[in-house]
Structures are given as C-alpha cells and as structure tokens.
Amino acid sequence: MTYILITAGFALLLLGGEFVVRGSVAMATRLGVSPLIVGLTVVGFGTSLPEMVVSVNAALVGAPGLAVGNVVGSNIANILLILGVAAIIAPIAVHPGAVKRDLLGMSAATLVYVALGMSGQIVFWQGVLMLVALMAYIGFTVWHDNKSNDEAAALHREEAAEIGDLPLRTVAIAALIIGGLIAVVVGAEWLVTGATTLATEFGVPEEVIGLTVVALGTSLPELATSMVAAYRGHSDVCVGNVLGSNLFNLFGITGVTALFAPLPFSDGIIGFDLWVLLGATAIIIPFMLTGRRISRPEGTILLILYVCFIASQFVGMSGMSK
C-alpha cells in the first residue's frame, strides 16, 4: 500500500503540475499578461508548485525534515540530474548576458540558505524575509527587463513560449487549472503519507527520503520540461528553468513552509548535503558566466555525480550520520 501511495502521489503531482502550468500560461495569455511576466512568475512558480505543496504538507503533519530534504534534494537534482540529462540530449550553451543575473541571484540565495541552515533551523521571521526578498527580486526583474528588453528578458519570454498555448475556451482552461491544483494537493498528501510510512518501515530518516525519493519525484515537471526543450534545441530554456526553479525553491518554498513550522536541519544535512548543494552550484557557474557549453561527456559526469549522491544517502557517506 505504501508503494501504491507513493506512485499514485507522483503521478498526480506530475499531471497536476503540468495542468496548472499549461493552464495558467494559457489563462495569462488570454488576459493579455506580458510573456515576460508569464515566464518570470507563472512558469517559475508553476513548476515549483509540487515541491511547495509537498513541503507545506510535510510541515503540517509534523515531518519538517522531509520538507528540508525536499528543497535541498530538488535543487541538487535540478543541477546534476536535469542539466546532465539535457546536456546528453543536446549540448547546452547559453549567452552569459541572458543568465548572469538569475545565476547570481540563485547563487546568492543558495549562500543565504546554506548559512541559515548551518545555524540549525529556519524559523518564521526568516521565512518572511525570504519571501520579501523573492518578491523584491521578481519586481526588480520585471521592471528592469521591461525597461531594457535585453537578452535576459528574451530568455524569460522564451520560457513562456516553450510551454505553448492551449486551444481551449477560458472556462475549460479554468477547469484545467482547478483540476490540476486538486491533483497536486491530493498527490502531495499521498506522497507525504507514503514517504513518512516508508521512512518508518525501513528506519530511514525522513530527511533522506526527502533528499531522494520525494525530491526526485517533485522534480519531474522540471525534468520533463527541460528534456523537451533540449530535444528542440532550446538549451537556454533548460538553464532558465533550472535557475528560476532553484531560486523559487530556496526562498519561495522554504519561506512559505517556515510560516507553518520551524524547519530543522539535521547534522547529516549540515555536514554533507548542504556542501553538495554548494558544490553543485559552483560547478555550473563557470559554464554560465563564460558561455562555454556543457558537452555530452560533461552532462554524463553530472548525471554520474547525481547517482553517487543518491547512493551516498543509503550506503554510509551521509546516511549513517543522519
């Protein structure tokens, strides 16, 4: 029954997240919202929705470690797994001017998140500041990109265009969004229930389940979107999706979840997983700032590193210390 809950939860999160993103993009288009704003907010928030609902649900049922593991594990998966798979499909190359600001924003958010995590927990007022900082960043980005219309603005518009429009009436689109939201909520409930049960049955810390099973499952929407974009030769969209999703995860999901319950960081996450997050972030910075492409062999290395990270959670590198 536990495995059925987890599998069904993943399926509902994937389908529900897809419905919400596509429906929201289509609705925004119908309402005349700028593609720039759609790419910055609707796409970024929508692809991170499964992580947010799962994390909040975990905090509410008394499993905050699962929420922390979900955010850390999802960001590691976004960099090592998603960029690795995308680079294997088609080498990734982006113009530094298009990603520099979001890369620096994500890197700064990662440093702040790690610093707060090293203190042992993230609490209510820190979550509020995270959300304020995220809103300020989005507001500045919208203002700046509308004013300058530079390469970064073009990238965010391309992210919205990559999702595409839906040939449906407004009522049908609204029903799709509502249905997707319901699916995400139910899927999150089933996934958290199954994941916590799995952790109890096998004596595995909830943080480990969050870092691996839950993080991988909630990253499926970004993985699917990036694989399609890479196949179409839109490698810049893959990178934009990862940078935006990681930023939303760090400050948006953590900020909202901290409003409901303090988020404790275990010794294992502090001593190992946060350093892996920093290392994964550091790996991609030179590629993004210089425009050097991530080749297929380098994508394979990223994928191998992710497999090693997952294995480490269960064979003693970090799992024994949690």
Q: Which amino acid is at 134?
A: L
d(CA 134, CA 141): 11
What pLDDT score was predicted for residue 153?
67
Q: What is the pLDDT of residues 172-184, one digit of tens each?
A: 888 888 888 888 8
For CA atoms 299, 301, 303, 305, give the dihedral sign: negative
Query: 123 by DSSP, 3-state: which?
Result: coil
State pTM to two decimals.
0.85
Domain CATH code at residue 265 = 1.20.1420.30
Q: Judge whether residue 321 has pLDDT over 70.
A: no
Mean pLDDT estimate for the chain: 84
What pLDDT score was predicted for residue 320?
44
Q: What is the pLDDT of residues 74-112, one digit of tens each?
A: 999 999 999 999 999 988 887 887 788 889 999 999 999
Q: Higher pLDDT residue, 70 or 219?
A: 70
Query: 317 by DSSP, 3-state: which?
Result: coil
Query: 263 by DSSP, 3-state: which?
Result: strand
What pLDDT score was predicted for residue 318?
43
User: Per residue in 141-156, is it b (16+ CB within 10 Å) or e — as a string?
Assistant: bbeebeeeeebbbbbb
| Cα pseudo-dihedral 245, 287, 238, 37, rounded to 10 | 60
Q: Judge whether residue 195 has pLDDT over 90.
A: no
Helix H or strand E encompassing 81 = none
> Model confidence at 171, in pLDDT bands (50, 70, 90)?
confident
Which residue bears the tokens 């969050």? 210
> Model confidence at 288, in pLDDT bands (50, 70, 90)?
confident
Domain assignment of residue 221, given as a range:
2-321
Greatest mean pLDDT among 2-16, 153-167, 253-267, 289-303: 253-267
Q: Judge whether residue 117 has pLDDT over 90.
A: yes
What pLDDT score was predicted for residue 297?
94
Q: Report in angstroms the alpha-carbon separations of 24 from 21, 31, 42.
A: 5, 10, 7
Tokens of 104: 């620096």
The count of structural domains within the chain is: 1
Which residue bears the tokens 């029903």? 175
Q: Judge whether residue 231 has pLDDT over 70.
A: yes
What pLDDT score was predicted for residue 44?
67
> Model confidence at 319, in pLDDT bands (50, 70, 90)?
very low
